[in-house]
Structure 1
Amino acid sequence: MASSRLFRTASPWVLAACAAGVAHAATAPAPTSNPGAGAPFKVVSYSDTFDLAANGTYTRTVHKIIEPLTKNGVQSDGQIQEVVATAMEHFHLVSAKTIAPDGKVYAVTKKDVHTQTAPSAVDAPTFSDAKIVSIEFPHVERGSKLDITYTMHRFQPYFPNEFSGIDAVPPDQLTGHEQVQVRAPASLKLFTSVRGGYRMTRTVDGKTQVITATLIDPPYHAVPGDAVSAGQFEPMFVATTFPDWPALGDAYWARAKAKTKVTPDVKKLADEIAGTKTGRAAMDALYDWTTTRIRWVGIEPGLSGWIPASAGHTLTRRYGDCKASETLLVALLKAKGIHAVPALIDGGSADYQLTHRVNLGIIDHVIVYVPKYHLFLDPTSGFATPGELPAGDVDKPVILASDHSTVSRTPSGPASYVQDTVETIGAKGGLHGHGTIHATGYTDWMMRDLLDQLPKADDGHVVKQVLSGEGLVGSGQFSAPHPDDLAQPFKVTDQWQAPGYYNAGHIVVLRVHKGFGFTTVGHYLASNATPSKRYPVKREIGTMHFMTSLTLPDGYKVLATPESGTVTTSAGRFVQTATMKGHTLHLDQTLSLDRVWYPVKDRTALEALFTKAYRLDRQQVVLEREGAKHQA
């Protein structure tokens, strides 16, 4: 699905970083009296004027001045790139120049302008005609002004007689003056909205209406990595001919409906895949075949971004983008008498709310909805089992496209991660254990996707790295079924050992290590304990359940163990139960979150839950050697 943004545009898993031997750290910027300190560049001014026709075609005239502020800014912004969908628009450079700090002007020449095929167009020329125009500015240094004017003529709209565009300024982009103007026939009904400091005016002069949105010196802030998409809160101006989101669904379906035709080849394949299966079993089989047999290829902006390939076309080539896989699956289901519809969604970022007005830039993905079973299916997910969704699809608004489209929402779960570990501390201070891990929902998808990326020969290295993340020097192995066998439950088994876990002494203090795992509750709690004060945040986990049995060494008396406790806030719940049976400590921990994203008003409850739960998790085991006092 193509993004049509016309202007500018904390995972819980520790295994991925451990496997690569990479540690990630995020440091908040130090307070400063200069609100723009640290910004690599500043958009000094940006002007974008649309001359819009009633049929949805237009010509944009863009003039912007950018000032690099740091060495990195000089490196990254000494050139400007524009993606051009050549089948529907023309790019023309009017002028470009570098104004040096001393006022000297260096013009951009023809040899400084390069056009090349976009990477995705190279990978999928059947679908994409995208080109990248790069304008290289000469003599760029800190304090230079990069001044450029260009036009973009859109001679073919995404949808006939329709228009939708936005102007948005991310909080982490230092901006001075921003103005967008839309000139259109007075008879053309345009729906608009502004937020975050934009001021909008609308005037009519004869047969022309002029809508102007202006933003001056918006606040500059760093956006934390766990924040939802900036599209939910950044300053934004929207102008569109679509009255509402269902109207976009209707427009998409007007083009997509014919593509779901059940050809003889589609019918034959559906019968072969389903065999004697009917109903839900047939649906599962058709979904499994589509998600494992159709290769996904990405698409850049262009007409192909909103017009799917036909089911027959995709069946012949066995590859396509999300729309191609969706259309084929809808046709296969239709061939077996199962009604399904496309569901337009934001699958590429963390947009959990739709904008007030239709913003095509939010919609970048299409999945399938089967009303009879109330199930959403993502045939391009690769590793999501039938009825489950990848993390990027959960708890998202969707437009169910049909002759009478509606707006719905994907489920937020259930999703769980369950780890059961049995450990023993040996007489010489070593720790060894074995365990099992399984998951449901998008956490199951994450596990499958992650393990498919790890070469089997690296299993031992992965275990070593994961143990080191828990402060253990050790080794081991793990095993799991093939990740893309979606018909079978995905269960990981492991065994490992860590010599030198503790040094014998009169008093021994130990933490209850969880051994091998994809994540740990302590790591997850610590890394997410301080949600942003300014922005909504996402927390992709659902339920995390750790069951750990630790057999303590002989010859020691237990002085202290972790306490049992429950932490409950409006954000979720954490339960820890610790019991001793003989020389074995049984520690059961469950963290439950009932949402994927949390607005700012929930910050206090979220912080309290994670902080208090972390304190419980960090409690230790204290042992005293039997007879130690008498010997002393």
Structure 2
Amino acid sequence: MATKIIATLLVFLYSLQAQAEYQPSYSFERYIKTIKVHADGTDEILEESIDKIETEKGVRSGSQSDLSYIKGMQTLKILDAYTIKPDGTKVKVKKENIRERDDPTNNGADMFSDTRHKIIIYPEVTVGSKLYSKVKTTNFKSLFKNHYIYSEVTLPYYRYGYYEINFIVDKGITLNFDNKGFAGGFVKETIDQNIYKYTYSQDTITSTEPGMVSLYDVSNHLIVSSFKDYAEYGQAYQKLSQPKAKPTVFIQELANSIIAKSGGGDKRSEAKALYEWIVNNIRYVAVYMGDGGVNPHFAESIVKNGYGDCKDHAVLFEALLASRGIKSSPALINSGEAFTLPKYPVLAPQNHVITYIPEFDLYVDATAQNVPFGYIPFGVRDKPTVLTALDKLGRTPSMKANENIVRTTVKFKIQADGKIDGVSTVAVSGPIESSYRDNQVPNVGKDDTKVAADLLSQYGETGNGRLQFTKPNSFNERYEENGIFTLDPIANYPGPAAMTIPVGLTQGRIYTISKDKPLDERKYPYSCFGRTYLDYYT
């Protein structure tokens, strides 16, 4: 049967709470932004904002303001900041209470950037306080040379009192505007500038919903772009990525070596071998310095470093494919819950790069280390793509229930003392197997009995057993999980008794679905993936 995505317990509990009257922790009382856009796509932004603290939760979560900037592209200055107490008294933020730190991702092992954060720590914040700030940001380098992009997506969870955005645009650059829910537009022109003004307010608020699509798909928005269409946007990305994907002698020799070791075959077999080499040899590490968020590294350097982000994996795959005479294109895509594209191109909601191979009409995500060739992860399915080398848009395949099957077979034997012996097999076929492979990555090398104990505890069961599974990167084997277990009694024995069917060493998908209470009504569209779960118990 086809099933919806199951929300996590945290989101589920939140959704129950949200059915009660929703109260935001703070609101946007007044916000004015003035953006001066230069002909080369750089800009200067002056922002004045007043946020009102509505609840005690808002005191805890909203009494600090985190302002980020990219050191290699921007400067950020806090010109003024203070708390307005409920009685109208202003309490200035002291200089020592404006802190600066590196991006938290720098503490992790897989992402590094030159993003910096300035934190405003507001004093004497209580319910009813208002927090004022005046900030100037200068973007001295644009992501795409001589192009400008800007997007504003409103949040339905908060009230907006008065929200104003002004654009003062050099006539040397032409901007395209698209908005939903904003008032305003072109105001006037001077000798060398065009001036625009947009305003917004929002009294009605709604809470988030589990599984809902991205706000980019449903919220009010203001989109500003110097790109007239996605073909032009794709060409701009190609100028950055195509030179990096040009095969060098080193890349050519590497591709030939990979194919020789794999035993050769037709072009699809070659593409498969190149893909599997990347996912088994190139780690995911993102290095975002300056425009590194959109500008990939050279293919040869990616191999020699042994790591790269999604753009780098796509560049390397493109270079290796080209070395074997296989044409491909980068495919810009969203890996979250956004299923549509704005009218005019901006960076968001696209946050990922995969590969499209026209010869096979096939999408491949070389970043996904546990996905067999021919499949792509759930997060990039049924999504629009910008095929940058082909000057057109595409769309990835959707999930289909008859192609994603999880077949669980369990044999139970209840002993005289109430203990339950069991043997289980979980066989997975179709794109869905990639998520099962991912789930077991942390268990590679772990003792089988410990893996079994951890799985039993997820469903409140006790006992012992062993769980074995197909290695996540053994792509030539169908994915399976095989378990042998003994559960402690879950009913009184001997004598008459009743019990629920235990989960044992299975994934318990149907059991989990039975515990999920859908919302009585929904305000937003939500993601729904086609899957088939078949459970057989004897």
> What is residue 291 of structure 2 aligned with on the other side?
303
Letter of the 2:487 counterpart: A
- 1:52 is aligned to 37
Whole-Å separation in 2 of the counterparts to 1:25 and 1:199: 37
Rg larger in 1 or in 2?
1
Amino acid at match of 2:317: L
* Pairs within 5 Å for 1:87-486: 87-121=72-106, 128-186=113-171, 188-195=173-180, 197-207=181-191, 208-275=193-260, 276-278=263-265, 279-300=267-288, 302-347=290-335, 349-402=336-389, 404-413=390-399, 414-454=403-443, 457=446, 459-460=448-449, 463-464=452-453, 466-467=455-456, 472-486=461-475
CA deviations 1:118-158 (Å, max 9, x no partner) are 23456689973221122222222222211001111111111
Residue type of the alignment partner of 1:412 = S
- Counterpart of 1:235, as a letter, is N
Secondary structure in 2 matching 1:287: helix
2:470 match: secondary structure? coil
Check conservation: 2:110, 2:284, Cα contact below 8 A: no
Instruction: Give the conservation status (yes or no) of the 8 Å contact 1:194–1:200.
Output: no
Return the letter of the residue paired with 2:162.
Answer: H
Distance 2:506 2:98 in 1: 51
What per-residue deviation string (whole Å, max 9, x for no partner) do you get for residues 459-488 of structure 1?
545544544665644332210132233333
Residue 189 to residue 528, structure 1, CA distance change in 2 (3 Å): farther
One-letter code of the match for 1:406? K
Q: Does 426-435 or 249-258 show the bigger shift?
A: 426-435
Greater shift, 121-130 or 373-382, is seen at: 121-130
C-alpha offsets along residues 28-84 of structure 1, whole Å, 9 cap, x if unaligned?
Answer: 33544xxxx531111211221111112211111111111222233222222211221
Q: In 2, Cα distance between the equivalents of 1:391 and 1:298?
A: 21
For each residue in 1:205-256, what CA deviation from the matched residue of structure 2 results, as whole angstroms up to 9, or x when unmatched?
2333222221112421111121111221112111111122232111101211
Q: Residue 233 of structure 2: SS of its match in structure 1?
A: helix
CA distance 1:464–1:399, change in 2 (3 Å): same
CA distance in 1, matches of 2:233, 2:112: 22
Maintained 8 Å contact 2:11/2:210: no
- Paired letter, 2:442: Q
Which amino acid in the other structure matches residue 474 of structure 2? D
Counterpart amino acid of residue 377 in structure 2: P
The SS at the match of 1:384 is: coil
Structure 1 gaps of 5+ residues are 1-9, 551-632
User: SS at the partner of 1:28?
Assistant: helix
Match 1:539 to one of 518, 528, 532: 528
Give 1:422 shift: 2.2
Matched residues in 2 for 1:472 and 1:126: separation? 38
Aligned-partner residue type, residue 205 of structure 1: E
Deviations 1:534-569 (Å, cap 9, x if unpaired)?
Answer: 0111134x322324132xxxxxxxxxxxxxxxxxxx
The separation in 1 between residues aligned to 2:126 and 2:352, in whole angstroms, is 40
Contact 1:521 1:544 in 2 (8 A): no
CA distance, structure 2, for counterparts of residue 471 and residue 261 of structure 1: 54
- Select the structure with the greater relative contact order (CA < 8 A; seq sep ≥ 6): 2
Counterpart contact for 2:509–2:533, Cα < 8 Å: no
Structure 2 CA distance, aligned partners of 1:423 and 1:433? 5
Contact 2:12 2:210 in 1 (8 A): no
TM-score, normalised by the number of residues in structure 2? 0.90
Partner of 2:26: 41
Counterpart CA distance in 2 for 1:96 and 1:167 is 23
Map of 1:493 onto structure 2: 482
1:83–1:486 CA distance, 2 compared to 1 (3 A)? farther
Give the drift of 1:194.
1.6
Alpha-carbon separation, structure 1, partners of 2:469 and 2:39: 58
Paired with 2:77 and 2:388, the residues of 1 have a C-alpha distance of 36
Distance of 2:334 and 2:357 partners within structure 1:
19
Deviation at 1:187, TM superposition (A): 6.0
Change in Cα spacing, 1:201 to 1:518, as seen in structure 2 (3 Å) is same
Counterpart amino acid of 1:411?
A: P
Which residue identity does 1:51 align to in structure 2? K
C-alpha displacement at 1:531, in angstroms? 7.1
Q: Structure 2 vs 1, CA of residues 532 and 273 (structure 1 numbering), >3 Å: closer, same or farther?
A: farther
Contact 2:429 2:478 in 1 (8 A): no
User: Deviation per CA, 1:290-311, whole angstroms, max 9, x where unpaired?
Assistant: 1121111235584111111010
Taking the aligned partners of 1:23 and 1:154, their CA distance within structure 2 comes to: 37
Counterpart position of 1:518: 507
The Cα offsets for residues 349-386 of structure 1, whole Å up to 9 and x where unpaired, read as: 20011122323121111011111112211111121111
- Cα separation, partners in 2 of 1:319 and 1:465, compared to 1, 3 Å: closer
The 8 Å contact of residues 417 and 544 in structure 1, kept in 2 or not, is answered as yes
Q: Distance in 2 between matches of 1:24 and 1:456?
A: 32
In 1, Cα distance between equivalents of 2:203 and 2:369: 41
Q: Is the 8 A contact 2:110 2:285 kept in 1?
A: no
Q: Output the aligned Cα RMSD.
A: 2.7
Q: How far does residue 425 in structure 1 lie from its aligned partner after superposition?
A: 3.4
Q: Deviations over 1:173-215 (max 9, x none)?
A: 33322221211134643221222x3213212223332222211
Q: Could you say if the C-alpha distance between residues 145 and 129 of structure 1 is closer, same or farther in structure 2, counting changes exceeding 3 Å?
A: same
Please state how far the C-alpha of 1:263 moved relative to its aligned partner. Answer: 1.0
User: Kindly, what percent of the aligned residue pairs are identical?
Assistant: 23
Q: Compared with structure 1, are the counterparts of its residues 162 and 127 closer, same or farther at alpha carbon in structure 2 (3 Å cutoff)?
A: farther
Question: In the alignment, residue 435 of structure 1 is paired with which amino acid?
Answer: S
Unaligned runs of 5+ residues in structure 2 are: none
Residues 72 and 289 of structure 2 are in contact (CA less than 8 Å); yes or no, is this contact kept in structure 1? no
Give the Cα separation in 2 of the matches to 1:301 and 1:212. 33
Match of 1:65 among 36, 47, 50: 50
- Check the 8 A contact 1:311/1:324 in 2, yes or no: yes
How far off is 1:387 after superposition? 1.2
Per-residue deviation at 1:514? 4.5
Question: Any idea what SS the aligned residue of 2:228 has?
Answer: coil
| SS of corresponding position for 1:527 | coil
Compared CA separation, residues 503 and 121, structure 1 to 2 (3 A): closer
Q: Does the 8 Å CA contact 1:121/1:299 hold for their aligned counterparts?
A: no
Cα distance in structure 1, aligned partners of 2:425 and 2:109: 41
